[in-house]
Chain A
Amino acid sequence: MARRNYNFLRALSLALFLLPGLTSPAQESHIGNLTGRADPGKRLYHRYCIGCHGENGDGRGENAPHVDPKPRDFTTGTFKCRSTPSGTIPLDSDLYNTIGRGIYSTAMPPWGPLTRQQRADLVAYVKSFSSRFREEKPGSPLEIPQEPATSRESVDRGRELYQATIKCALCHGKEGRGDGPSAATLTDNKGLPIAPYDFTTSTHFKCGESDEDLYRVLMTGLDGTPMPSFSNSLKPEQAWDMIHFVRTLHTESHWSIRKLRARKDTEVDGFNALK
């Protein structure tokens, strides 16, 4: 009996020794020279986020029934806006940028007015909802090559890819209005209906506004939605062709489009501002 107690205490000591090592990565975030911590992040979460994402981070806050699309369920560790390959967890900076930028056309506003430290603390707390952040490492971030100049040939090649080769038109529609033949059948990873993006209505996109942001979405996909990653089926130059074509679908003025295409995260106080 005494021996058993001794073993129990030894196991408990080992567990207590290992526990901080197992849990601390998820309790902190590291964005540039910022270190976010979950404790202050929890207080901020209760102030700003709990209404939609819920106390347990499961996307079941009091406002969830009134919000479309539904708030993200953090417990799955699945995030739309990543620089990491599809199926992997995002970098801390991906979450940081998403918080600061918001997700356009959804109920998630840009939280850029929060201080950098507050956003880093929120990242740490959001990570604590999913065991994936303790068990997995983020994938290698996508390298984004230099964008070639837009040309008529590039747009034509992009149109061909959009309409026939990659068949984006199946969901997004021939004219990019989000009304393709498959549009009505799409669901997200919760089985809820989800609409493909209408490229004609806005130059804003869910994960950013610049051409680089579009490239990232195209090559890493939007996890949790039917939008896949095309990193295995598109060469970088083809991805740029696609983006050049998609930009022609906008109905906004050329002046505003030029401005947004060149926009960097530094202008929305994103992670790049810290480098």
Chain B
Amino acid sequence: MVISAALVTTSQPARAIPAFARKYNLPCSACHEAWPKLNNFGQVFRDNGYQLGSGKDSPIWQNPSYWPITFRITPQWHRESSSNQKVDSIPGDATSPPTEKTLTSHGFDLSGVDIWTAGTLYKNISFSVLPSSDSSGSFHFENAWVRFDDLLGSRWANLKFGKFELDNMISEKRFLFLSANGGVYQLYHFLPAREAAFLSSGANPLNPGFGLGDNQLGVELAGHSSNSYTRYSLALLSSNDGNISVPNSSYDGFATVSQAFEVGGLGLQRVGAYAYFGQRPTTFGTAGGTPIAGVGSNNKSFYRAGLNADFYAGPVDFSLFYLHGWENAFLGTGMPGNAPLPAGARAPTWNGGFVETHYTLNPKLIFVQRNEFVRMSRQALSSDPSDLGNLDAYSFGARWYPIMFSRAGLAWHSEYAIVKSAKTSQVFGRDVWSSSVFFGLDFDF
């Protein structure tokens, strides 16, 4: 499970758009605290529908030779290690009893590639299209949306339609970690151990699970004050975790609000809250034994809710995140909604949080660190160990930007990350430790 998560995360796209820097003749550092993490100026630009408000936002002002497309890819060397992985006790003999051992690999590699175009179609109509590949070159649409900005002349009414990132105050798409174990917020994707095992078995292809960090399909109404100190977002989303062609005929909802305030020379502080309410099918119709897309039934609900904050103290800032999660007992145990629950089944709940620290020595050098934890407060089955699936994750890194012009960006990224997942090894139920060492040249143009 950890390895598959690692494979997914190596293709996790992160966001920065040198095409905008070229359009406006601004350095990356104007919009990014450290590329790709946005600062408030970049947040306002994004909230305004990729418009600076300087009178030159419309496409008619663009130089005909302007190339509104950004490429991003990261050649890298990395080392991955996971303890207590299931292997055959006699290599090559599938009938031999399974055992566990530590698997380690290292070598030179490539990330996936982002080919991103975004901007304005017209005044107050913005768009984004991001075909993104995994490292093997298999493409999907990471996002594709059109946004109508300043409806009725109000910045409090902006309507986005398509596939997009949830308006998470702490964005996983624009954070500063790239390694397989550090390159995701564990909390944004955490599922109780039994449910995670059930979903990875593929037994219910119409339930893709849920990740707060996954881009979703739907419509969003969002608004903000002129300097984006006050922001809100409401979204109605298909219950398919952003997966194309899995309509499921049911809907989720997401709401978030945040407020920023200035504290003298310390800088801008921001606090916020969010909640996601969703449902997933637990049964589905078939034709000839094959699941019929979009004909899920016996939907069962789940939610995530919590608080977040970003506190600045000069060159140091702390991102704080708290989450409470709840899943219906049928989802938590992987049982069909039209079948009886096993004895002792109940709705699993958990709490988690992280503290992420950034020390921006200057616009070209930043040090990052993150401590993250997840604690189960109620297991799906009362017979399960109380700490089954608990997570502890630590990441440390540095990014140096030798090139950071208004035309392109290049960062030397180094990172170490380690994750402990309690009692989740498949054979003996031991703790699984996974670690990553990562060095790469992260560049975009």
Contact = CB atoms under 8 A, between A and B. Distances in A.
Interface in B308-353: none
Contacts of B268: 115
Contacts of A107: 24-25, 54, 56
Interface stretch (B37-45, B186-194, B295-303): B37-45
In this complex, the member of A63, A106, A256, A269 whose beta carbon has the largest number of chain B beta carbons within 10 angstroms is: A63
Contacts of A104: 54-55
Nearest to B315: A43
B30 interface: yes
Interface in B247-282: 262, 264-265, 267-268
Contacts of A259: 153
DSSP class of A's interface residues: helix, strand, loop or mixed?
A: loop
Nearest to A268: B226
A171 to B, nearest CB: 20
A6 B373 CA distance: 68
In this complex, the member of A103, A109, A202, A269 whose beta carbon has the largest number of chain B beta carbons within 10 angstroms is: A109
In this complex, the member of B26, B54, B226, B228 whose beta carbon has the largest number of chain A beta carbons within 10 angstroms is: B54
B181 interface: no
B262 A115 contact: yes
Contacts of B265: 40, 117
Interface string B380-400: 000000000000000000000
Interface of A: 40, 43, 46-48, 50-52, 62-63, 66-67, 102-118, 202, 204, 256, 259, 267-269
A50 B30 CA distance: 10
Given A63-B25, A113-B228, A46 B262 contact: no
A103 B54 CA distance: 7
B54 A48 contact: no
B27 A50 contact: yes
A113 B54 contact: no
Interface residues of B, number: 28
Nearest to A43: B362
Nearest to A116: B262
B52 A109 contact: yes
A-B interface, 6 closest residue pairs, ranked by CB to CB distance from nearest: A63-B25, A105-B55, A109-B52, A113-B44, A113-B41, A109-B54
A113 B30 contact: no
B55 A51 contact: no
Contacts of A46: 29, 362-363
Nearest to B314: A40
Contact of A47 (B30, B52, B53, B55): B30
A105 B54 contact: yes
B25 A114 contact: no
Contacts of A63: 25-26, 406
Contact of B27 (A51, A105, A111, A204): A51
Contacts of A115: 40, 262, 267-268
A110 B27 contact: no
Nearest to A110: B53
B367 interface: no
B227 interface: yes
B405 interface: yes
In this complex, the member of B25, B153, B405 whose beta carbon has the largest number of chain A beta carbons within 10 angstroms is: B25
19 contacts: A40-B265, A46-B29, A46-B363, A47-B27, A47-B29, A47-B30, A48-B29, A51-B26, A51-B27, A63-B26, A63-B406, A66-B25, A102-B54, A109-B24, A110-B53, A112-B226, A112-B227, A115-B268, A117-B265
B268 to A, nearest CB: 5
A152 to B, nearest CB: 28
A85 to B, nearest CB: 28
Nearest to A105: B55
Contacts of A112: 44, 226-227
A67 B29 contact: no
